[in-house]
Amino acid sequence: MIDQFQRPLHDLRISVTDRCNFRCVYCMPKEVFGKDFAFMERDELLSFEEMTRLARISVAHGVEKIRLTGGEPLLRKGIEELVAMLAELRTPAGRPIDIAMTTNGSVLALKAQALKDAGLKRVTVSLDSLDDATFRAMNDVKFPVSKVLNSLDVAHSAGLGPIKINMVLKRGQNDQDIVAMARHFKGTPYILRFIEFMDVGSSNGWEMADVVPSGEVVARINAELPLEEVAPNYNGETSRRWRYRDGEGEIGVISSVTQSFCHSCSRARVSTDGKLFTCLFATEGHDLRALMRGGSTDEQLAAVMTQIWRERTDRYSELRSAETGRLRASAKKRIEMSYIGG
């Protein structure tokens, strides 16, 4: 599958639940996702069989990586069963696919070994500060940072690696911890990545003034822990890599606001209720659940998915970089990250 800008489809991200036990200020703020918020009913969610069916069709047409997201994916009961089903898939050349998961780490220690045994390859854990007070404030449910750190060690021992750690930066909330995070994870098996606060959805109160540019992040770290840039692992990698000059590991920066990477984006996303999205900043998706439950064959589904991707022209971040104000004023309400997955 090749879109209008000659971008292939290589990565599929599947949101397995719209629920999360955190209320992070940049994703699911309590003011919007409070006690009265109506989450999806069980029959609205794709079943594991339906998710695997879409994954199988996608793999047959070029997808090599599948990432399970949410919400918090480990809240979906029996998630190991889905991992095991996906682990049986093979590319047309007969290779197994790369299965990964993004999690907040809150229950990862309990699930790590079962996930590894089921076929999960890697995990990415969200961790926005090592300072307990800051971390509790950002997850807004007073969850302690010590439990996430323990989950990292358990997941590493289970063989879920290399483990990446995502730190979303919001100026004035946790950017004071940039160097402390780098120093803590330097020389460990973990790869720390700094992510610019993004205007995904409409509920997180995004302002450009809250963004800590990746260039500033690298400069702050380099001033104390000298860095050198290294080549990406593969074409289309979202993270720019920087290695410590003394050889003790690396960091990454994801600059979707200040240095967009739309030109190489090879990702599609399937929401919890089966809508296909071709951009993280989309306003609407394509309902694949209705097609599946309406009796469409695999061939018919493949034809629809192929056509959607071939017509793809998304490049929101590139446009936003040039004309943020006009886009935000004129855009429809965008899909929330908790619905589409990060």
Annotated binding site: 13, 20, 24, 26-27, 67, 71, 102, 126, 164, 198, 262, 265, 267-269, 279
Torsion-angle region of 223 (φ positive above 0: left; ψ -120 to 50: alpha; else: beta): alpha
Contact 288, 58 (CB under 8 A): no
What is the DSSP track for 111-130? HHHHHHHHT--EEEEE---S
At 113, give phi and psi (nearest 5°). -65, -40
Task: Choose among 220, 182, 217: nearest CA to 196.
Answer: 217
Exposure string over 181-216, b if 16+ CB within 10 A, otherwise e: bbeebbeeebbbbbbbbbbbbbbbebeeebbbbbeb
Residues in the annotated binding site for S-adenosyl-L-methionine: 26, 71, 126, 198
Residue length, the chain? 342
What's the order of all strands across the beta sheet hosting 250-254?
227-230, 240-244, 250-254, 191-196, 164-169, 122-126, 98-103, 65-69, 11-15, 267-270, 275-277, 286-287
Rounded distance between C-alpha atoms, residue 336 and residue 333, angstroms: 9
Rounded distance between C-alpha atoms, residue 55 and residue 24, angstroms: 29
In angstroms and rounded to an integer, the radius of gyration of the C-alpha atoms of the chain is 19
Contact 167, 134 (CB under 8 A): no
Residues in the annotated binding site for [4Fe-4S] cluster: 20, 24, 27, 262, 265, 279
Contact 166, 175 (CB under 8 A): no
In the chain, which ranges are continuous DSSP H helix? 48-60, 79-87, 108-118, 132-139, 145-158, 178-185, 214-224, 288-293, 298-310, 316-330, 337-340
Residues in the annotated binding site for GTP: 13, 67, 102, 164, 267-269
